[in-house]
């Protein structure tokens, strides 16, 4: 007999990903609940602005409601050896009424480009609307709240850091912060921004077409977001740790309608989570209905959004720790793009590179913004190939890419859109380093240079795009390029609907015969039986199969076949020997 | 009209394109009718499908006639047109998604499919 699922108190208080919603339970129960939380060493506490200030002008930090006592909460966590991480959102939070702002400030709805108010359904189906952060009253109140919060932390002697979070969703191939807004309030501020820009003569003479306007709107949004960020940084200076991006599953434009007719699938949720991960955004399952967190999604969550992943997210990268030997998401290819402009991935998409990678190395491409680009970080990152579009490169970025090549990394550079002075710089780089260049022509001009383990592959996509039967020729082009690179990778033949994610970890002293250990987590979220075949190269040694659920394995030399029952999942570990 | 036999069509007006109307979602309380399937039903619709929505429809009548044609083809009794203003109002007035579609159905612009034309020899006598 079907029954309505009972929502456990713990699901509301601990909705997932280590978050603890302190306002959802009585302060007298905090101790018991935290004591019962075994395994987690970090407790993530999102600060609920509206819970501490209903008007935006009066504040309650342990004055009236006992549940506003963040000092007590922090002390309880520390008593049980849990590290406390406070989160302060720099954009609306979709799981809170009014996006988490004090109700008196909830006046101007945030809207999408079609004039539809932004609204989300929380895990219980309650509809939460969000409001425009371009409303100056919200900014003023936010600054004041940060000030009061900073004063309270310091006065109460709270010994825990505060991270800023940018909440958003994944739409049309990109992460969009929930601060994004196209309401009349935004448009009013934007027209003032454009007017101010027009005082600059070079800008005034520019023709503002639709793309320029869209980019200007993005610029303006960033200006305002940075104001919120600076206010939080300034007021919480000694506590401030940095910013993390969170992508909320089931928060896309029409998801509220889909939720209303129960048109949601495990596959769609997994795809969304995988997209977030491949863009460096941590997925949050906060909006998922409780029953959706069970079954195959639970296996997915335990592996992909595990406690280790939370530890890694908030682990200072400059410190070595026991987490060096944890599995981390692994991507063979990393594509750098300028996330601050619209359609930033158009050029690399048109070149056919992404389609080829998606077909042949699915779930193996990571997208990163130049804002996070530091070439030295890449030395240990585990990515094997790096792609740069010429139009996004400046001298600093190109020099960094060339340094990566000199350090034995494989670099692709698309010269399409590359500034002339940078082209000259590239030529002088060849001469200065006495590099032997192999120049050839196949559908476009190609230059390849090898040095040690590194390979530099430079081509011009503009010619490729204009070819007849471009799609087919691009496939052939990239096929030949990757064959020439002699890459060692696993050939995967998966039936439609199977999803997989690669992880890897460093090796311990007892497994030094390997360079690293790679793990593939495979899921069949569908309701059908599915087959999955993986043919692995000679540099991979199959180690073990773990967490088998509804799956059978057949192993032959360098090939594994998996027969999944509906909702099956499994992980396979391979030791990788250096070439 | 019965909500179970009604095709609900959410549409918005694009402020960048002279306020033309675009269909965002087509569904009934029994499930979604993906726009890709709508396009598959009639290849003529391809011309008005931009990958995420169907349109533009310059007038209310154009949208209404298109929607009724669709609902007839999909064997619904009629359509309930929901514009973005109504959707915005629903988000303010309805507290839970469980009540969302009933609100949209109660307040949306409902149209029954046109009576099928009788083509038989005796049609004029009945």
Torsion of CA A2, A8, B90, A273, to 10 degrees: -90
Mean pLDDT of A221-238: 97
What class has domain A333-484? Answer: alpha beta
Q: How many C-alpha atoms does B2 have within 13 Å on its Cβ side?
A: 5
- Dmax over CA atoms of chain A, in Å, equals 77
Chain A residues touching residue B30 (CB < 8 angstroms): 261
Rounded to whole angstroms, the Cα distance separating A129 from A99 reads 6
Give the distance from residue A116's alpha carbon to the nearest chain B alpha carbon, in angstroms: 5
Rounded to whole angstroms, the Cα distance separating A313 from A301 reads 15
> Long-range pairs for A560-564 at CB < 8 Å and ≥24 separation?
A560/A533, A560/A534, A560/A536, A561/A531, A561/A532, A561/A533, A562/A522, A562/A531, A562/A532, A562/A533, A562/A534, A563/A529, A563/A530, A563/A531, A564/A498, A564/A522, A564/A524, A564/A529, A564/A530, A564/A531, A564/A532
Token reading at B17? 């394109």
Mean pLDDT of A157-182: 95
**Sign of dihedral through CA atoms A439, A440, A443, A449?**
negative
Nearest to A115 among B12, B30, B98 (CB): B12
Across the interface, do A117 and B12 touch by the CB < 8 Å criterion?
A: no
Q: What is the pLDDT of residues A484-501, one digit of tens each?
A: 888 888 999 999 999 999
B14 reaches A (C-beta below 8 A): yes
A437 reaches B (C-beta below 8 A): no
Across the interface, do A127 and B22 touch by the CB < 8 Å criterion?
A: no
B92 reaches A (C-beta below 8 A): yes
Mutation target to probe the A interface, by most A beta carbons within 10 A, among B11, B30, B91, B92 is B91
Rounded to whole angstroms, the Cα distance separating A144 from A231 reads 9
Per the omega criterion (within 30 degrees of 0), is the bond before A450 cis?
no
Question: Which of the four pLDDT bands, split at 50, 70 and 90, describes residue A510?
Answer: confident
Give the distance from residue B38's alpha carbon to the nearest chain A alpha carbon, in angstroms: 17
For β-strands A365-369 and A540-556, DSSP reports them as unpaired
- Residues A13 and A38 sit within 8 Å (Cβ to Cβ): no
Q: Which residue in the block uniquely carries the two structure tokens 């726009």?
A: B35
Token reading at A365? 């491409």
Closest residue on chain A to B27 (Cα): A261
Percent pLDDT > 90 in chain A is 73
Nearest to B88 among A116, A126, A257 (CB): A116
Question: Which of the four pLDDT bands, split at 50, 70 and 90, describes residue A239?
Answer: very high
Listed by start position, the domains of chain A span 10-180+232-318, 333-484, 491-576
Closest residue on chain B to A124 (Cα): B96
For β-strands A530-535 and B78-83, DSSP reports them as unpaired
Rounded to whole angstroms, the Cα distance separating A263 from B100 reads 14
Chain B residues touching residue A125 (CB < 8 angstroms): 96-98
Across the interface, do B15 and A115 touch by the CB < 8 Å criterion?
A: yes
Spell A254-271 as b/e; 16+ CB within 10 A means b: ebbbbbbbebbebbbbbe
Across the interface, do A254 and B87 touch by the CB < 8 Å criterion?
A: no
Q: Average pLDDT, whole number, for chain A?
A: 91
Q: Collect the ranges in chain B with pLDDT lower than 70.
A: 16-18, 116-126
Give the distance from residue B115's alpha carbon to the nearest chain A alpha carbon, in angstroms: 29
Across the interface, do B14 and A210 touch by the CB < 8 Å criterion?
A: no
Token reading at A179? 């601060």
**Sign of dihedral through CA atoms A73, A79, A82, A84?**
positive
Give the distance from residue A448's alpha carbon to the nearest chain B alpha carbon, in angstroms: 38
Mean pLDDT of A348-367: 93
Grouping H, G, I as helix, E, B as strand and the rest as coil, residue A171 is: strand
Check residue A1 and give its pLDDT: 45
Across the interface, do B100 and A127 touch by the CB < 8 Å criterion?
A: yes
Q: Which fold has domain A10-180+232-318?
A: TIM Barrel (3.20.20)
Token reading at A46? 């999102």
End-to-end CA distance of chain A: 58
A259 reaches B (C-beta below 8 A): yes
Question: Is A491-576 assigned to CATH 3.10.450?
Answer: no
Give the distance from residue B36's alpha carbon to the nearest chain A alpha carbon, in angstroms: 15
Mean pLDDT of A440-447: 92
Check residue A87 and give its pLDDT: 97
Burial (0-12, 13-18, 19+ Cβ within 10 Å), A101:
buried
Check residue A496 and give its pLDDT: 94
Check residue B95 and give its pLDDT: 96
DSSP label at B96? B
A117 reaches B (C-beta below 8 A): yes
Give the distance from residue B30's alpha carbon to the nearest chain A alpha carbon, in angstroms: 7
Check residue B118 and give its pLDDT: 53
Which comes out higher in pLDDT, residue A399 or A315?
A: A399
B12 reaches A (C-beta below 8 A): yes
Least confident range from A228-242, A366-380, A531-545: namely: A366-380
A258 reaches B (C-beta below 8 A): yes
Q: What is the pLDDT of residues A73-90, one digit of tens each?
A: 999 999 999 999 999 999
Spell A343-359 as b/e; 16+ CB within 10 A means b: ebbebbebbbbbbbbee
B86 reaches A (C-beta below 8 A): no
Give the distance from residue B69's alpha carbon to the nearest chain A alpha carbon, in angstroms: 23
Q: Which residue in the block uniquely carries the two structure tokens 């195959």?
A: A296
Torsion of CA A508, A512, A516, A521, to 10 degrees: -70
Rounded to whole angstroms, the Cα distance separating B84 from B12 reads 5
Across the interface, do B32 and A261 touch by the CB < 8 Å criterion?
A: yes
Q: Which residue in the block uniquely carries the two structure tokens 């360079």?
A: A515
């Amino acid at each position: 007999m079907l029954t309505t699922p009972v929502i456990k108190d713990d699901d509301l208080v601990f909705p997932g990903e280590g978050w603890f919603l302190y306002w959802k339970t009585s302060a007298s129960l905090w101790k018991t609940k935290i004591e019962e939380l075994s395994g987690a060493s970090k407790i993530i506490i999102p600060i609920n602005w509206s819970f501490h200030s209903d008007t935006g002008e009066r504040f309650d930090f342990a004055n009236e409601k006992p549940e506003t006592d963040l000092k007590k909460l922090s002390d309880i966590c520390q008593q049980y050896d849990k590290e406390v991480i406070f989160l302060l959102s720099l954009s609306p939070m979709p799981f809170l009424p009014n996006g988490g702002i004090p109700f008196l400030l909830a006046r101007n709805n945030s809207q999408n480009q079609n004039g539809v108010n932004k609204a989300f359904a929380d895990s219980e189906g309650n509809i939460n609307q969000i409001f425009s952060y371009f409303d100056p009253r919200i900014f003023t109140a936010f600054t004041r709240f940060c000030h009061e919060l900073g004063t309270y932390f310091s006065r109460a002697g709270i010994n825990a850091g505060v991270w800023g979070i940018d909440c958003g969703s994944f739409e049309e191939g990109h992460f969009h912060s929930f601060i994004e807004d196209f309401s009349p309030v935004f448009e009013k501020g934007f027209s003032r921004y454009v007017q101010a820009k027009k005082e600059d003569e070079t800008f005034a003479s520019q023709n503002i077409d639709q793309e320029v306007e869209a980019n200007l709107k993005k610029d303006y949004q960033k200006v305002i977001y940075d104001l919120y960020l600076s206010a939080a940084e300034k007021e919480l200076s000694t506590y401030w740790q940095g910013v993390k991006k969170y992508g909320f599953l089931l928060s896309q434009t029409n998801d509220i309608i889909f939720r209303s007719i129960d048109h949601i699938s495990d596959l769609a949720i997994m795809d969304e989570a995988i997209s977030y991960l491949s863009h460096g955004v941590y997925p949050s399952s906060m909006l998922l209905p409780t029953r959706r967190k069970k079954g195959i999604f639970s296996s997915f969550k335990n592996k992909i959004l595990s406690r280790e992943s939370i530890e890694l997210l908030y682990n200072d990268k400059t410190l070595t720790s026991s987490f060096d030997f944890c599995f981390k998401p692994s991507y063979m290819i990393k594509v750098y793009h300028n996330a601050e402009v619209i359609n930033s991935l158009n050029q690399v998409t048109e070149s056919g590179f992404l389609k080829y990678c998606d077909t042949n190395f699915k779930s193996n491409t990571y997208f990163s913004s130049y804002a996070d680009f530091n070439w030295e970080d890449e030395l240990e990152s585990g990515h094997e190939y790096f792609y740069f579009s010429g139009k996004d490169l400046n001298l600093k970025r190109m020099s960094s890419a060339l340094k990566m090549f000199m350090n034995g990394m494989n670099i692709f550079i698309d010269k399409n859109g590359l500034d002339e002075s940078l082209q000259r710089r590239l030529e002088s780089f060849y001469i200065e380093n006495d590099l032997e260049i192999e120049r050839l022509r196949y559908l476009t001009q190609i230059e390849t240079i090898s040095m040690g383990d590194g390979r530099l592959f430079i081509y011009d996509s503009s010619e490729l795009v204009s070819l007849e039967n471009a799609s087919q020729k691009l496939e052939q082009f990239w096929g030949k390029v990757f064959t020439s690179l002699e890459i060692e990778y696993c050939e995967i033949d998966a039936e439609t609907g199977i999803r997989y994610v690669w992880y890897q970890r460093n090796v311990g002293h007892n497994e030094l015969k390997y360079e690293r250990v790679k793990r593939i987590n495979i899921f069949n979220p569908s309701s059908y039986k599915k087959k999955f075949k993986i043919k692995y190269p000679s540099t991979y040694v199959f180690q073990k199969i773990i967490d088998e659920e509804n799956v059978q394995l057949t192993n032959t030399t360098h090939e594994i076949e998996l027969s999944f029952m509906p909702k099956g999942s499994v992980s396979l570990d391979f030791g990788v020997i250096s070439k | 009209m019965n909500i179970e036999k009604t095709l609900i069509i959410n549409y918005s007006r694009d402020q960048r394109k002279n306020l033309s109307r675009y269909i965002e979602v087509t569904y009934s309380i029994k499930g979604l009718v993906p726009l890709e399937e709508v396009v598959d039903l009639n290849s003529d619709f391809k011309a008005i499908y931009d990958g995420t929505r169907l349109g533009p429809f310059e007038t209310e009548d154009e949208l209404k006639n298109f929607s009724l044609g669709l609902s007839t083809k999909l064997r619904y009794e009629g359509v309930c047109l929901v514009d973005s203003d109504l959707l915005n109002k629903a988000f303010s007035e309805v507290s839970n998604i469980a009540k969302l579609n009933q609100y949209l159905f109660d307040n949306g612009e409902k149209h029954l499919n046109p009576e099928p034309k009788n083509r038989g020899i005796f049609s004029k006598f009945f």
